[in-house]
Copies of this chain bind each other. A is one copy, B any other.
Amino acid sequence: MARAWSLKARPQGMPQHTDFAMITIPDRPLAAGEVRIANRWLSVDPYMRGRMNDVKSYVPPFVLGEPMQGGAVGEIVESNADGFAVGDKVQHMMGWRDEAVVPAAQVQKLPAIDVPEQAFLGQLGMPGMTGYFGLTEVAAAKSGDVVFVSAAAGAVGSTVVQIAKARGMTVIGSAGGADKCDWVRSLGADAVVDYKAGVPVVKALGEALKTVGADGIDVYFDNVGGEHLDAALAHARMRARFAVCGMIEVYNSGAATELRYLARLIGNRIQIRGFIVSDYMDRQADFVRDMGALVAAGTLKREETVHDGLDAMPDAFLGLFSGGNRGKMLVRV
């Protein structure tokens, strides 16, 4: 029998371990077109917090008591679908469990490129695509732009930093703590903001801009919202573009966002756009081409924070909200 995490109660504020319960999924024979996958890597992502609330959103809420879902990479152990064979490495969305039965139409084989399989849950998967299309399409960033990225040490942000540098932009990345900031610098960032250093982000960003000799930012890639968003408004240049894909700062608290610099929107003709990576699925080939080039050149830097074993999954998930990850947060089954 497969084991899976289910949501036992809808969290109020920060989720607790008691909101999760391990359940078993009875074995059953495969239907036509299905495959059975032994999951090797499970993804935890901030957006999953939204699915824990019982509100209509861009993905439906998790059903209480049923297996949760999320990105996963694994190996086919039984197949009843044409074109899928035992031993194939695949990715799919039936995560939060050690074994999954999935219609083959919802399964993608991993490309045969020389990177570890779990990279397809991070920089070469949804988080990477989020960074890529957010930067290049939503914010229309171009060579010469000054780009500010929050959560720059995360799976999405670390991709944004590297794509931006590869395309000739000046990059300022924000991360929490000296270690993460060092890593963001090692990715190529021209300056960093350590948001845990006790200096307001609006001030720290101003200092960072001085060190790169710029009077403001052209692009803000927002993973966190709140104080970072306000700082970006405060330092936005004329016609700055903001791509917003996450607001981890308010996912748990549900608190109102206080913006002191919002009125700069007008005089500086700032554009703020929210987006979801799935809007760009039909453009995946562009992403694969450009990220593949970085992989081939050997310049793509990648880190993972790995928790071991299905039992550790809630720990990994909760760690996202305390800044517990450098690079992609993963669970190895």
Contact = CB atoms under 8 A, between A and B. Distances in A.
A138 to B, nearest CB: 9
A267 B225 contact: no
A274 B265 contact: yes
A58 to B, nearest CB: 4
A274 B269 contact: yes
A137 interface: no
Nearest to A251: B263
Interface string A234-260: 000000000011110011000011111
Given A270-B273, A274-B270, A262 B279 contact: no
Interface string A40-53: 00000000001000
A267 B56 CA distance: 10
Contact of A266 (B246, B258, B260): B246
Nearest to A267: B58
A274 to B, nearest CB: 3
A34 to B, nearest CB: 30
Nearest to A249: B263
A80 interface: no
Point out which of A266, A271, A273 has the most chain B C-beta atoms below 10 A from its C-beta. A266
Contacts of A269: 273-276, 279
Contact of A267 (B57, B271, B273): B57
A272 interface: yes
A268 interface: yes
Contacts of A257: 258-260, 262-263
A258 B266 CA distance: 17
Contacts of A50: 267
Contact of A272 (B246, B250, B271): B271
A245 B267 CA distance: 9
Contact of A263 (B250, B268, B276): B250
A65 B57 CA distance: 55
A265 B265 CA distance: 15
Contacts of A247: 262-263, 265-266
Contacts of A270: 273-274
8 contacts: A225-B263, A250-B262, A256-B260, A257-B263, A258-B258, A265-B272, A266-B275, A271-B272
Interface of A: 50, 57-58, 225, 244-247, 250-251, 256-260, 262-276, 279
